[in-house]
Structure 1
Amino acid sequence: MPIIPDAAPSIRANLVRIQNSQKAPIIIIGSFTELQFTAINAGRASFKQPALEENEILFIGGHIYSSRSKDGYTIDDIVHQIVSALGEDAVAMITHKMTCTRNPTSRADAYGNFVNDRAVYEMTARKPRAELFSVIPKGDHKKPPKK
């Protein structure tokens, strides 16, 4: 299972800490499915990048909170995006610039969109593990109102 069952409250707690200008800890929020992990390492090998050694996904949340809150998203919106992007059915996508998983199943968001959430991972800072760096709700043509 990619996201651990009790990860959502921990993700939310980190995002609240960041919102309150507090330091958030590094937490483990899940792992890739065997298919995702194999595809990520095959893709990285094709670009002559080192393999991902540990099948754990780490989370702090600073960049995610900063970028998504600028778009007007709430912490609850961000948690929904993360849970969706780390879904068991998410497909691994690897380029020479990024590694991500994308949920192929559209999700209705709170703003009238059907989005496919994409999680972008940072693979070197916390080596040998992946860190969830960003989440992108692809298809969010109607943005939330900015505060």
Structure 2
Amino acid sequence: MLRYDSSYVGSTGKVIIGQNGTRSPVYSITAVSVKGGVTTYATVTIQGNNMIFTPLYTDAATSIWAVRGGKVPLAVPICGFDGKHCPFNFMETYWGYVAAAGALILAALIALIAGVIYMIRERTREEERQNSMWHIPFTRLVSPDDVSLFA
């Protein structure tokens, strides 16, 4: 006679036989561990309409998600499930405006530097002109007469 409502360990893990002789599924949640081996982190047993979750870990961050640096994956991907909700990237969207603004700023900076150089050059030329006004050319110099000097 078959014995119902029993369990035993088979080649695929624990096998549970229900009251009516059917096998109750036991699902194992496995993943690759940090060391590279396959590790079982939890089991889910279904008995009739009941589900029993049995965690086989103490801290999910140091066990299940250790291969991801302890970070749990997002419930919804960054770009959404359809890839159309990616976050706004300013440089990709407005690179033309940024380049134009950069060119204008560069042109203004060049114009400012050129203006400063021009002003310095003109100031130097004006100073030279002012200095040349009181100089007497050598050809215009004459010896003074003794008479005209004391007369």
State TM-score, norm by structure 1.
0.22
* Structure with higher RCO (Cα < 8 A, 6+ apart): 1
Whose helix proportion is higher, 1 or 2?
Answer: 2
Bigger radius of gyration among the two: 2
